[in-house]
Amino acid sequence: AQSVTQPDIHITVSEGASLELRCNYSYGATPYLFWYVQSPGQGLQLLLKYFSGDTLVQGIKGFEAEFKRSQSSFNLRKPSVHWSDAAEYFCAVAPKVSTDSWGKLQFGAGTQVVVTP
């Protein structure tokens, strides 16, 4: 079955430290890949997306993600975390060819990031 997995439900990181959030997918072919962030009480904001080409993708707020086909992964990274990065992060995928893909993303369960001083 098609699935998106974020293995870490909760991550605590010190301000200034690096952050890596994991995302694995299980699809027949490489889907379109996205990372979204949700601050408390807010909607989802797109951080970055991968469609094809360069496997290292730069996004907003200093985030980047690396696509690894061999590992079916699309991990999100930030070299130095700020207190304002505390939020929930969602990996999402859209299959490239599917009869039920119109306007639809499949989301992982999310990773809650806590930033300590």
Partner 1 sequence: KAGVTQTPRYLIKTRGQQVTLSCSPISGHRSVSWYQQTPGQGLQFLFEYFSETQRNKGNFPGRFSGRQFSNSRSEMNVSTLELGDSALYLCASSLTGMPGNTIYFGEGSWLTVV
Under the binding rule (CB under 8 A), the answer on residue 29 touching partner 1 is no
Q: Which of 2, 26, 28, 51 binds partner 1 (CB under 8 A)?
A: 51
- At residue 100, what are phi and psi to the nearest 5 degrees? -120, 35
CB nearer to partner 1: pick between 43 and 53 = 43
6, 18, 21, 50, 63 from 11: Cα distances, Å: 11, 12, 8, 24, 16
Q: Which stretch binds partner 1 (CB under 8 A): 10-18, 20-28, 62-70, 92-100?
A: 92-100
Q: Which of 1, 40, 53, 102 binds partner 1 (CB under 8 A)?
A: 102
Under the binding rule (CB under 8 A), the answer on residue 11 touching partner 1 is no
12, 17, 24, 27 from 84: Cα distances, Å: 13, 13, 25, 33
Under the binding rule (CB under 8 A), the answer on residue 117 touching partner 1 is no
Q: Which stretch binds partner 1 (CB under 8 A): 11-19, 21-29, 68-76, 95-103?
A: 95-103
**Single-letter residue type at 28:** G
Q: Residues 111, 6: contact at Cβ < 8 Å?
A: yes
CB nearer to partner 1: pick between 31 and 78 = 31
- At residue 36, what are phi and psi to the nearest 5 degrees? -120, 155
Binding site residues, partner 1, CB under 8 A = 31-32, 34, 36, 42-46, 49, 51, 90, 94-98, 100-110
